[in-house]
Structure 1
Amino acid sequence: MKYVIILGDGMADEPIKELNNQTPLQYANKPTMDALAKLGEIGRVHTIPKGMAPGSDTANLAVLGYDPSLYYTGRSPLEAVSMGVELLDSDITFRCNLVTLSDEGEYKDKVILDHSADEISTEEARELIKAVNEHFRSKAIEFHPGISYRHLMVWHEGPDDFDLTPPHDILGKSIKDYLPKGSQSGTILNMMKESYDFLSVHPINIQRVKKGLRPANSIWIWGEGRRPRLPLFEEKYGLKGSVISAVDLIKGIGICAGLKSVDVEGATGNIHTNFEGKAMAAINELKNGQDFVYVHVEAPDECGHRNELENKVKSIELLDEKVVKVIVEELNLLGEDYSIMILPDHPTPLRLRTHTDDPVPYLIYRKNKEVLNLEQKYDEIFATSSKNCFPIGHELIEYFFKK
């Protein structure tokens, strides 16, 4: 038996007037998902434990079967693992975004315009993070470049009593009420302020503005945590597996769980990604002896954060056509029994431009156990009407594996 989870990050949403009061998942043309829904099971799952922030970190841990309330130690240390950064138990890590702030007034009066600086290219971002590291590096603090706008700060023997806000939670808002808090928050705030002074005039940002792109004119530090320790996935479930993602967070979760992380050329973490490459990488992993593959697609979430209605619908359609369809066709050619689960990790409503902790719709299709229901489609509305509901998110994968 082969198992595949296809996760459309942030795919769930709310009914939208411009889509005839349908959600993007309802409105999108997704014939393969809907065909699987007619032969499978639809339901809802609460991926975010009560009282925890609705992030891709906690949600993906839950989808992979790890109780976030037990195993979550912060977002950035998971990303550090993916980046190959060695951590000591005494290290505190932080996510460092390259963001776009408005240019009026003092730093505290600025508005956060874009958490991703127009999804800045990795090549441009590396030069900017290099400048940041040269400016701030000390025996205690260092910066490491990641992918696009997502980077890492490590504070050796640093404090961990911070109150830091994810930048995608405050898009379009003044930052003055969301600046760092904590016993040594002044260190972080000063770095953010100083970064604006030299990044605003950096040659890369000058060129970006000339091209009509938003400048990455400040760092934004958040997502602190310590080195995680997860039980091995194979020991928990008896399955050898791989994870396929363009996002360091997901790769890091997989690596911590003992899953093989597979890089795909052209995988970007946005809508301009190599969808088919991810699908074929999944099939190759299964052909080469893996029992389980976790395929993560970031595009719907990024479109939600950027309030790109048309692109969010398009990202779901591309996921259906170039990932789900390809994987199903190739699995059928293999001639083995298989099970597929499709779901988001959390909603990212276009209206809010950030995550919520509402339950998300799941679809499970089992090749050897088809149950015909011609009325059924895969979307939030059908899921809500279903009797199938998992209030504890990390228990869904055991049901999927029938353990």
Structure 2
Amino acid sequence: MSIQTIQSKDQLRSFLHDTIQTTPITDIHSHLFTEDFGGLLLWGIDELLTYHYLVAETFRFQPELSYEAFWAMSKTEQADLVWQTLFIEHSPYSEACRGVLTVLSRLGLDVSTRDLNAYRAFFASMSTTEYLKLVFKLSGVNTVCMTNDPFVDEEREVWETIGEIDPRFHTALRLDPLLNAWDTTWPRLKTWGYSVEEAFSEKTIQGVQSFLRDWIRRMNPLYMAVSLPPSFQFPEESPRGRVIETCILPIAREFDIPFAMMIGVNKRVNPALGDAGDSVGPSDVRAVERLCAQFPDNKFLCTMLARENQHGLAVAARKFRNLHVFGCWWFLNNPSLIEEMTRMRFELLGVSVTPQHSDCRVLDQLIYKWDHSRAIIEKVLFDKYSDLMDTGWSLQQAEIQRDVADLFGGSFWRFLNRPNPAAKA
């Protein structure tokens, strides 16, 4: 088989575009669910419009509307208000608004009509099974990783009866209450039959470890995960610090799965906004470095929420091969910031990074999150490959395909030491 070399930048642009568009994606962090979880799987135009990004934006244009009045509305009424406020009375160029239009357009709907009822009729004509298949096809996503929280009653009940998981979905064991709310969590563990007490005795450590083992065996997660505040430190003389050191990290080593940290969210700075009321703050990258240094046999996934932390986190990943940086999380999921972060990460880490994840809470968002991110990743890669060509380096088509496959999931699966389900036989 002959080696096919890129001969010009025009050819590079065309080949790279085709490769970016056709390479299947592993979305390593989302809040999506399989059909087995019923109402926890959100989809459709009203769910898109009432996503908390758009709710927060709507309130900025509705100074007379009380939070209580909005939450008392039906979902349809809320969606109507969001549509009228953000799409009709103002130009919808925020990234969250643009995302809705991208979804509608890619579904073949005419966004120029601005006909919300027609869009609703389209979604009403689809079954969940049909729509899942369509979204995966349009987004180019091969598999997604859910966020699975055993402390959510509705979800835990499903896990008690669920059979095989839809192969398009993988699991992640989410542990926020265990780490961030020990005072209210340990009594629940005790109620569930685990021998724990508020004090961190050997008995408590064994009880928490048993809880983790049970849920890992039940879920088979790709990793354990937690969202952490900007104040997070390690070492930390707190229940959180003790749970991490004596329970999570030993069990992560036992099952050879990473501990994923999403650091930098200030919860409920405006409680009246509900899920839209969280904010952001700079965090201490040294806490991540200490974890990586003190526990070299553990693997760590990390994304940070503040723009100020991105350079330091990428430098930390250069120093610790047990650290894998991923995604442009939450408030960073804006094109200007995604491009800035992607360029910086490629320049520091090459392809040993996962540049994006969707963080979707609504199924439809898979389409726009990956459409928009693909375009940015393509733009950055074109510039980087052009720089190589300017040195006289020859670019081979197979190597470009390899690189893109790494960025779209290959590096993640290699870090996990698991086979990539999207890899060709």
Which fold has the larger relative contact order, with Cα–Cα distance below 8 Å and residues 6 or more apart in sequence? 1
Higher helix share: 2
Higher strand share: 1
Fold-level similarity (TM above 0.5): no
> How does the TM-score come out when normalised to structure 2?
0.30
> How does the TM-score come out when normalised to structure 1?
0.31
Structure with higher Rg: it is: 2
